[in-house]
Structure formats: structure tokens, C-alpha cells
Structure 1
Amino acid sequence: MAKQESLTGSECPVARTLEAIGERWCLMIIREAFDDVRRFSEFQKNLGLAKNILAARLKHLVELGVLEICPASDGSAYKEYVLTECGRSVFPIVIAMRQWGERYMFEKGETHSVLLDNELEQTILPLEVRSTQGKKLEPGDCHRRLMVKEEDSA
């Protein structure tokens, strides 16, 4: 099987994002971190992932700046993996994938998890792409253009 070419030098932000965090275990680790999982053993227990694969993915996410290693919050000798600002900014990506999966990956009557607002205990509204004026945008309403990054943008 031919080795896939790296997308890290691509002009496409989607390609670079997939190269960085698009591997399924990376996304599942990030999802667990959103549920306040912080310790290696908790990630392994929840995901059922082999230790060597988990260690490699956690190392990758730390190198990317998605997670950082911190002393355990309970004062023990353990280390914890904590989401950085970069990691927390992945939240809408995970929500978009969750909402797409809820809509298209389950048959009627099939059980699945749902995400609830902590304050109201209600499901969250579907994500929408909007213009700077607030208009809902569809794929045909947008186009791509090459730009040089000068500063961080939200």
C-alpha cells in the first residue's frame, strides 16, 4: 500500500486540520477531554485503546498544543492532560460532527447519546454558518480565496 502524502503543507485549512486532529482516536480523546477526562488511565478505560496508541496520540495532541500536561488537580503524583485554548476551540467541530451523526447515522428508534445544556437540561440548537450580517449561509453562498495569515483570527 502506498504511503499517503502529508497534508501539513496544503493551502487548504480543512486538509491541515484533518492532518492534525482528523484521525479518529485524536478526536475521541478530545471528545473525552470535553467530558473532563484528564488522566491516561481514564482515557484508556473509556476508549478501550491500546496503551501505545493512546500514548502516541496524547503526545501528538500535546505537541500540537491541543492538550497540555499539568500536575494532578488532586495533588497526587499523577499528571493530567488538560485542554488548552486551542483544544477548547475544537468544541464546535466536535458538536458539528455530533449533530451530523445524530441526524444521519442512527435509525429511527435507535438509542444514542445527546448533548444537553448544563443550565437548562435541554438539547443544544443545531450549528449554523452565518455571514457577518447574520444571514444563514449554504455551501453555494461561499467561495474560497487564498490569503496570507498576518495575525490570529477567531
Structure 2
Amino acid sequence: MQSSLGVAPNLLSARLKLLVEAGVLRTRTYQEPGSRHRQSYHLTQAGEELRLVLAALQQWGDRHRPRPSGPSSLRRTRSTGEAVSVGFIDAEGREVPCADVAFVVNRGSED
């Protein structure tokens, strides 16, 4: 992971620790034969749900800040391989255009 990200070990360790503390990742201990115990990192339910937020940011970047070489990854269904996009969905399962979405203050949430 460190070499693919190109970050210093201490920086990667600090970032992984922060993601564990935030509940995005959890650790599991494993040991390869003849090696010391190590930690592997796995997404929690919160981490899985964060994929939606990251996909929305990626979709925005692909549209408004495209890379000359194209997107770094594509969003596809596992079952059919069809392209998918991130959007607002109403209670009936229909996509709602961004221009038709309003953010309304929730008076009941004020503390």
C-alpha cells in the first residue's frame, strides 16, 4: 500500500490510524509463515457507505476537471458491467435532477 501511494511510512501509519479511529476502517491481525504479526485494514459499514461520497466526488471531477488521459477508474455494476452514475434518488427510485433538489433547514435538529 505504501509504495503504491508513494507516502512515507509514518504518514501512512498516521492516516490509517485516523481512519480506524473514525470508524472507516477496522484492523485484523494476520501472520504469514515465518513472519511477525501484521495488521490488515478492512472497510467498516461506514467505510463502505463512504464509497458513495467518493464516487460522487470522482464523478464531479471527471465532468468538471477531466484528466487528459481520462478517468482513473470507472463506476460499473458487478453483475452486468454497465456504467453507473451517482445521483439523487426519490422515494420511488427515480433519479432527480440536481437543479430540482433543495436543501431545507431541519428546525427539529437545532440543539
Q: Give the TM-score normalised by structure 2.
A: 0.75
Query: Which structure 2 segments of 5+ residues have no match?
Result: none
1:104 to 47, 64, 76: 64
Equivalent residue pairs, number: 102
Greater strand content? 2
User: Is 1:56 equivalent to 2:14 in the alignment?
Assistant: yes
User: Is 1:138 equivalent to 2:98 in the alignment?
Assistant: yes
Deviations 1:41-80 (A, max 9, x none): x2x11110111211111111101111011023xx422210
Structure 1 residue 89: deviation in Å?
0.7
Task: Note if contact 1:131-1:137 (Cα within 8 Å) is conserved in structure 2.
Answer: no
* Divergent runs of 4+, >3 A: 116-119
Deviations 1:3-61 (A, max 9, x none): xxxxxxxxxxxxxxxxxxxxxxxxxxxxxxxxxxxxxxx2x111101112111111111
Query: Which structure 1 segments of 5+ residues have no match?
Result: 1-41, 149-154
What aligned pairs does 1:2-151 form with structure 2 within 5 A after superposition? 42=1, 44-72=2-30, 75-76=31-32, 77-106=37-66, 110-112=68-70, 113-115=72-74, 116-122=76-82, 124-133=83-92, 134=94, 136-139=96-99, 141-146=101-106, 147-148=108-109
Structure 1 residue 140: deviation in Å?
5.2
Give % identity. 27
CA RMSD of aligned residues (A): 2.3
